[in-house]
Amino acid sequence: MAYVAVRGGQEAIEASLALLAWERVRPGCSVEIKDIMAAFPDLIDQVMGESSLYAPELAALALKQAQGSCEEAVFLLRAFRSTLERPYVSCAVEPDAMRCSRRISAAFKDIPGGQILGATRDYSHRLIDFNLRKESTDTVRELRREMKRIWKEGWEADGLCEGDGFGGDDGAEAAQDLLPEASVRPPKKGAKDAASPPLGAFGRLPKVADYLRAQGLLAEYDADDATPADATMEPLVFPTPRSMRLQVLARGMTQGVVALGYAAIRGFGLGHPTVAELRYGEVEIAVEHPLGTPGASGDPLQAGRGDAYYLGAIPVTEVEGIFELEVENADGGKEFTFDLGYGMVMGRGETKAIAMSVLDFCLRSKDKRFPTQDEEFVLYHVDGIEATGFISHLKLPHYVTFQSKLSSVRKAKDLAKGSADKPADEPATGPADKSTDGGEGGNDDQAV
Amino acid sequence: MGADKELHHIQLSFRAVMDAMARPGRVYGLPATQGKKASRFGLEGPLETLVKMFIDQAVSFCVVAPDPAGIQDAIVAETHARTAGQADAAFVVVPHGCDKELAGQAIVQASAGSFLSPEAGATVLLGCERLAFLTEREGAEAGDASLYWVSVEGPGVRDSHVFGIDCFDWVWARKRRGDEFPCGIEIILVDRQGQVAAIPRSSFLSVLAMEGGAEGEEASWLM
Amino acid sequence: MTKQYNFAFFDEASKREIRRAIVKGIAVPGYQVPFASREMPIGRGWGTGGLQITLAIIGRRDVLKVIDQGCDESVNAVNIKKLIHATTDVEITEETRRASIIQSRHRIPEQPLGEDQVMVLQVPTPEPLRHFEPREAATRVLHAQADYTGAWLSLFDQIVCFGTTTTGADHPVKVNGRYVMAPSPIPRFDTMKLHQNSNLTLFGAGREKKIYAVPPYTTVEPLDFKDHPFAVEEFQGRCCDTCGATNVYLDETVDEASGTAVYRCNDTAFCTQQAASKGLI
C-alpha cells in the first residue's frame, strides 16, 4: 500500500518532487531560456496563446521548468497570470492595420494588396532533415549570413533595398534577436503569385471581406467596440456574448479546438467554409489613459480618443472564413448570403485560428443539431486547464465516495437477492437482473 | 496604510462581514484602523473599508447623496469601478448622515436580481450612527430613545438575534420592496465606530417595542 | 522562488471577486453563485474551488486544517496545505477543534464543529441536476423555477429499479426549503451534519466556477420519500480496528494475511485522538 495516502503523505510528496527534480537534471545538461526562445518560437506561441498571456520569455521559462510539456507550461503560466491584476483594457485592435508577413486568400486568386505567402510549412515536404543533427550555432550563423547576402543582392538588383530590415549583420548577435526579426521577415523572392509588395509597402492592407461587403454579399453588422467580456474576470453565463466565446476559443487547447473544428466541417457541424483571408503579422496594442488625457481645456473628461499609450506589438494570426447562410429576404422568401466566422490567436497558430473561425460561426447558429453548435459543449470542454485538471483528478483517492457507493450497491444487491428468494408469485427477475447487470446504473452522479 | 497593512486590514474586516452575513443581526467589530488618516473617498473610515473590500473594476456602484459626484469620482479613480443608477448598481453606498428619505428610496429601488440570477441583487452598504448587540440591551438605560431594537430570524439564526440601531427607516424601505425570495438585496449596516451587522435577503425582521423608547410605535412589526 | 507572490497567492482583485461571491452565497443558501474562478497552481478538479475560498478568507491569525478523504496526511491535503502555508505562513493543525478554517474533500470531521469554525468543502460537480440535464443554461432555469421534478424522479427511478435509492456520496439535499443542492461528495453519513449546524459551510467548485454556502442554523433536508427514508451508509456492528469507535464513518481495508475486511476510522485525526484518550497509543 505504498501510495495509500493514509499516512506519510508529506514524505511521499517530498520524495516524489525530489525524483521529478532529479529527472530534470539527470541528463546533466541545461538549455538557456534564449535558446528555447530561438529554437521553439511556435511552441512558445502556443503556450502564450493557451495561457492568454503575451510573455515569450516567461513562456520559455515555463517550458523549461515543465520539461517541454506544453500542458504543464500552460498550467504554470495561467496560474501566474491569475495573480496579476488587469487594470486596463486596450484600445480596439484594427487588424487591417496589421504589419502582415503572411496573407493568403483561398477565395480569390487576386486580392487587393496581393497575396503574401510568407513563411509556411504548407508546401514543404515533411521529411526529416538529418542534416540538422550536425547543426551548430556556428553553422547556423554561417547559413544566416549567406541567406541575407543572397536576398540583399536580389533586392539591390530590383532597387528595393533601403535598410536591409534584418538588423545588424553581426554574427555574434544575441539569438533572441531572431524573434522580432521573424515577424518582419520579408516575402521570399519569387513567392507564389509574385505579388510580394516591396518592404516599404508593408502597412495597411485592405481586408478581403471588405470587398464582399462592398458588393452586398456579406451579412452586415454594426461595429461593436464595447469592452469585451473577459472569461478570466467574470463567470461564463449562457448564452455568452460573442466576445467571450472568441476569447474562450482563442485560449482553448490548440488540439481541442482543431478537433472540434474538424468535426464541424466533416459532418457534425454547419458545412465547409472558404478562407476569405488568413493573415499573420504584428498588431499594435495601446491603452487609453484611464482618466483621459487632459485636453487643452485641462478637463480630463473632455479628452478625446487618440491620446493613447502605445505598449508594443504582438504577433497574431487572423482568419476570416466565409460561410453560406440562408436568410429570409424582404419578400419572405429564402435567399443565400454569406457570413463570416472569425478566428484570431496569438502568434503562429494557423490551424487553430481556422478551426476557431469555424466554431465561431457554428456557435452563432440557433440550431443546435450538432454538438459543435452548442456553446456549452464547445466552450466548457476546449479549455486545457479544466480538461486536463479534471481528467487527472481521477488519480486522486476516492476511498470515501467509493465506500459510500459500495454500501449502496451492496444494499441494492441484498434487496434483489431477498426478493429473488421469495416465492414465484412475485416476479423478481426484473429488478434482480438489473441490479446484477448494472449495479451502478441508474445513477450517474457518482462521487468524484 | 501601506499596501500590505491594508491587505490584512481588509481581510480581517471581510471576516467580520462574512460572519455578520452568516449570522444576521449579530453585531461584529471591524478591526480598528491605526493612525487616523483622512478618507480618500470622503466617507467614514469603516464605510470606506467596506467600499475597498467589495468595489473594483468588475462591478458597478452608486453613492446615495444629494450630490454624489465628488465621492463617486474619487472611488472611480481609485478602484476603476463604474458608476450606475440606483436601480442597476451592484453596490449602493449610503454614507453616514445621509438624508433618511434618500436612503430609503435607494433601498426601495436597488436591484433585486432575478430568479435566474439572484446574485445580481444589490448589496447596500448603509452607514448608521450606532449599532449594539443584544447584550447591551439589558444595560441600556430605561428611556434611552436613541436605539431601536430589531429582531432577526432566518438562516444563520438559531432562535432570534436582537440588535440595537439608531434608526429603522431602512427596515420599512426593505419591507416596501416586496421581494420574492430568492430575489432581494443584502444590507450591510456599519456605524461610525466600525461595528457591522448584516441583513441578507433570507432574513425576517421585526422592530421590537421599546420600553419608554421609540415614540408611539410600541407594537412589534413583522417585516 | 524568486518571484514573490502576494499574501495568500491572489492579487486583491481576485480576492474581492471570491469574497463577493461568498457573501451572495451565504445570503441565498444553497444557490450556486457563478464567479470568475481563477486559475490555480494546482490542477482543476484537485480542490481549486475550496482553495480559492480558503485563500480569499484566510488571514495571519487563522489556524488551518486540510483533509482529503478524511485524512490530514493524504497527498492532496498535504499539497494544498503546503501551498497555503507557503503563501500565508499560517499555523497548520490536525486537531479539528483548534482549526479556524477546515478545508476538506469529501468528509466533514467526526468532531462536531463550533460557531467560530468555517468549513470549506471542495466540490467537483456542484450541479445536483447535471446527471439528467447536461446543459447549464437549462439547469439554471430549473433552479429558478424550483422545478425539481427531475431530481425526485431519478430517486424514484432508482427505487423502482433497485428497491432502494442507490445514491452514493453527494446525495442531493434541499436547503432552506428552496434550493436543491449537491452537498459535494460527502458520504450520506455526513449529510445530516449540515442540518442546523452551528458553523458556516462554504462550497467551492473551481472548474465549474461556482460558490455556494450553507449558513449556520439552516435547514438541510436530504431528498427522500416517506416509505424510503434517507439512509446513511451501514457499518452494522462494526467498529474501528484501531480505536474501537462506533458510529463513525469507516474505511474498509483488506487484511493481507487473512484476506478479510478490516475497518478503521476514516477520520484519522479523530481516530488518533480517540486512541490516545483510551491509552491505546
> pLDDT digits over C225-275, tens only?
999 999 998 888 899 999 999 999 998 888 888 888 889 999 999 999 999
Nearest-angstrom CA–CA distance, C200 and C114: 9
Number of domains in chain B: 1
Q: Which residues 403-442 on chain A approach chain C with CB closer than 8 angstroms?
A: 403-409, 411-412, 415-416, 419, 431, 434-435, 440-442
pLDDT at C120 over 90: yes
Instruction: Pick the range with the lowest mean pLDDT from A130-134, B70-74, B133-137, C51-55.
Output: B133-137
C-alpha separations of B187 from A12, B21, B103, B107, B123 in Å? 48, 9, 12, 9, 6
Q: How many CA atoms lie within 13 A of A127 on its CB side?
A: 6
Q: Which domain holds residue B77?
A: 3-129+175-202
User: How confident is the model at residue A221, as a pLDDT?
Assistant: 84
User: Domain for residue B143, yes or no?
Assistant: no
User: How confident is the model at residue A290, as a pLDDT?
Assistant: 66
Number of DSSP helices (H) and strands (E) in chain B, helices first: 6, 12
Chain B residues near residue A290 by CB distance under 8 angstroms: 80
Dihedral angle sign, alpha carbons of residues B67, B71, B76, B77: positive
Chain B residues near residue C147 by CB distance under 8 angstroms: none
Q: Cβ contact (<8 Å) for B116 and C144?
A: yes
CATH code at C12-128+175-220: 3.40.50.11310
pLDDT band at residue B143 using 50, 70 and 90 as cut-offs: low
Q: Cβ contact (<8 Å) for B57 and A87?
A: yes
| Chains in contact with chain A (at least 3 beta-carbon pairs closer than 8 A) | B, C
The owner of cell 490584512 is B8
Coil, helix or strand at residue C275: helix
Q: What is the mean pLDDT of residues B39-47?
A: 88
Coil, helix or strand at residue A377: helix
Distance in Å, alpha carbon of C139 to nearest chain A alpha carbon: 11
Task: Give, rounded to a whole angstrom, the gap between the first and last alpha carbons of chain C.
Answer: 40
User: How confident is the model at residue C5, as a pLDDT?
Assistant: 82
User: How confident is the model at residue A291, as a pLDDT?
Assistant: 63
Q: Cβ contact (<8 Å) for B15 and C59?
A: yes
Chain A residues near residue B119 by CB distance under 8 angstroms: none
Q: What is the mean pLDDT of residues A311-330?
A: 89
pLDDT band at residue C119 using 50, 70 and 90 as cut-offs: very high
Q: What is the mean pLDDT of residues A136-145?
A: 94
By CB atoms closer than 10 A (0-12, 13-18, 19+), residue C100 is buried
User: How confident is the model at residue A276, as a pLDDT?
Assistant: 93
Instruction: List, in sequence order, every beta strand (DSSP E) within A28-131.
Output: 99-104
User: Domain for residue B108, yes or no?
Assistant: yes
DSSP A156: H
Instruction: List, in sequence order, every beta strand (DSSP E) within C78-199.
Output: 91-92, 101-105, 118-122, 173-175, 179-181
User: How confident is the model at residue B218, as a pLDDT?
Assistant: 39
pLDDT at B98 over 50: yes
What are residue C179's phi and psi, to 5 degrees?
-95, 135
Residues counted in chain A: 448
Contacts of C216 (CB under 8 A, 6+ apart): B22, B23, B156, B158, C115, C197, C198, C199, C200
Distance in Å, alpha carbon of C94 to nearest chain B alpha carbon: 22
By CB atoms closer than 10 A (0-12, 13-18, 19+), residue A42 is exposed
User: How confident is the model at residue B205, as a pLDDT?
Assistant: 96
pLDDT band at residue B214 using 50, 70 and 90 as cut-offs: very low
User: Domain for residue B33, yes or no?
Assistant: yes
User: How confident is the model at residue B216, as a pLDDT?
Assistant: 37
Q: What is the mean pLDDT of residues C153-168?
A: 87
Residue range A257-274, pLDDT digits in tens: 999 999 999 888 877 899
Q: Name the residue among A87, A233, A291 with its Cβ closest to that of B77.
A: A291
Residue range B163-179, pLDDT digits in tens: 999 999 999 999 999 99
User: How confident is the model at residue A329, as a pLDDT?
Assistant: 77
Q: What is the mean pLDDT of residues A80-94?
A: 88
pLDDT band at residue C280 using 50, 70 and 90 as cut-offs: confident
Q: Cβ contact (<8 Å) for A233 and B77?
A: no
User: Domain for residue B139, yes or no?
Assistant: no
Q: Cβ contact (<8 Å) for B54 and C6?
A: no
Q: How many CA atoms lie within 13 A of C142 on its CB side?
A: 21
Q: Are strands B60-63 and B91-94 parallel, antiparallel or unpaired?
A: parallel
Residue range A220-253, pLDDT digits in tens: 888 888 888 999 888 888 899 999 999 999 999 9
User: How confident is the model at residue A187, as a pLDDT?
Assistant: 42
Grid cell locating C240: 474501528
C-alpha separations of A226 from B57, B58, B187 in Å? 15, 15, 32
At B87, which CATH number?
Answer: 3.40.50.11310
pLDDT at C123 over 70: yes
Active site residues of C: 30, 239, 243, 265, 271
CB pairs under 8 A between A and C: 221
User: Domain for residue B99, yes or no?
Assistant: yes
Chain A residues near residue C188 by CB distance under 8 angstroms: 404
Residue range C30-50, pLDDT digits in tens: 999 999 999 899 888 889 999
The owner of cell 547556423 is A140
User: Domain for residue B45, yes or no?
Assistant: yes
Decide: C173 and C154 in contact? Cβ < 8 Å: no
What are residue A137's phi and psi, to 5 degrees?
-60, -35
Q: Cβ contact (<8 Å) for B202 and C21?
A: no
Grid cell locating C109: 470531521
pLDDT at A431 over 80: no
Dihedral angle sign, alpha carbons of residues A117, A119, A121, A127: positive
Q: Where are the domains of chain C?
A: 12-128+175-220, 234-281
pLDDT at A173 over 50: no
Higher pLDDT: C202 or A444? It is C202
C-alpha separations of A433 from A436, A438, B40, C116, C242 in Å? 5, 8, 73, 51, 39
pLDDT band at residue B137 using 50, 70 and 90 as cut-offs: low
Q: How many CA atoms lie within 13 A of A262 on its CB side?
A: 8
Nearest-angstrom CA–CA distance, B115 and C144: 5
User: How confident is the model at residue C82, as a pLDDT?
Assistant: 92
Nearest-angstrom CA–CA distance, C36 and A33: 33
Coil, helix or strand at residue C193: helix
Q: What is the pTM of this model?
A: 0.80
Chain A residues near residue C71 by CB distance under 8 angstroms: 5-6, 9
pLDDT at A361 over 80: yes
CA dihedral C88, C94, C96, C97 (to 10 degrees): -80
Distance in Å, alpha carbon of A183 to nearest chain C alpha carbon: 30
Tell me which chain A residue has its CA closest to the CA of residue B58.
Answer: A233
Decide: C167 and C182 in contact? Cβ < 8 Å: no
Instruction: List, in sequence order, every beta strand (DSSP E) within C234-281.
Output: 250-254, 261-265
pLDDT at A310 over 80: yes
